[in-house]
Structure 1
Amino acid sequence: MIIAKNDEAKRSKIWRIVTLVSSVLIIVIAIFLLTKLFTANPLEGTWVDEDRSLRLSIKSNGTIDVSVPEVAEDVSVGVKLNYTMDKEEKTITIKADESEFKKIAEKSDGKYTQEDLKNALDSVTTTFDYSVDQEQLTLTEREYGEQMTFIKE
Structure 2
Amino acid sequence: MIYENNEEKRSTIWRTILTVSSVVIIIIAVFFVVKLFTGNPLEGRWVSEGSGDMIEITDDNQMIIRPEEGDRFTEIRCNVDTKTKILTVAEGPLDSDIIQPGTYNYNIEQDTLTLTEREYGEQLVFVREQE
TM-score, normalised by the number of residues in structure 1: 0.77
Task: Tell me the equivalent position of 2:21.
Answer: 22
Look up the match of 1:111.
none
Q: For residue 75 of structure 2, what is the aligned residue in structure 1?
A: 80
Deviation at 1:85, TM superposition (A): 1.2
**Aligned match of 1:138:** 114
Cα distance in 2, alignment partners of residues 91 and 18 from structure 1? 47
Give ranges in structure 2 of 5+ residues lacking alignment. Answer: none
| Matching residue of 1:94 | 89
> Which of the two has greater helix per residue?
1
Q: Which has the larger radius of gyration?
A: 1
Aligned 8 A contact 2:40 2:59 in 1 = yes
User: What percentage of aligned pairs have identical amino acids?
Assistant: 39
The size of the alignment, in residue pairs, is 129
Secondary structure at the aligned position of 2:119 is classed as: coil
AA in 2 matched with 1:21:
V
Residue 53 of structure 1 deviates from its aligned partner by 4.2
Paired residues for 1:1-153 under 5 Å: 2-69=1-68, 77-98=72-93, 117=95, 120=97, 123-153=99-129
List gaps (5 residues or longer) in structure 1. 102-116
Cα deviation for residue 78 of structure 1 reads 1.2
Q: Structure 1 residue 76: deviation in Å? A: 6.0
- Taking a change above 3 Å as real, the CA distance of residues 96 and 76 of structure 1, as seen in their structure-2 partners, is farther
For the structure 1 residues 6 and 63, does the alpha-carbon distance in structure 2 shift closer, same or farther, using more than 3 Å as the test?
same
Which secondary structure does the structure 1 equivalent of 2:59 belong to? coil
1:86-106, Cα deviation, whole Å (9 max, x unpaired):
1100000001324xx5xxxxx
> Who is 1:107 aligned against?
none
1:124 CA drift (Å): 2.5
| Per-residue CA distance 1:98-117 (angstroms, 9 max, x = gap) | 4xx5xxxxxxxxxxxxxxx2
CA RMSD of superposed structures (Å): 1.8
Q: For 2:119 and 2:71, locate their aligned partners in 1 and report how far apart those are by CA, in whole Å.
A: 28
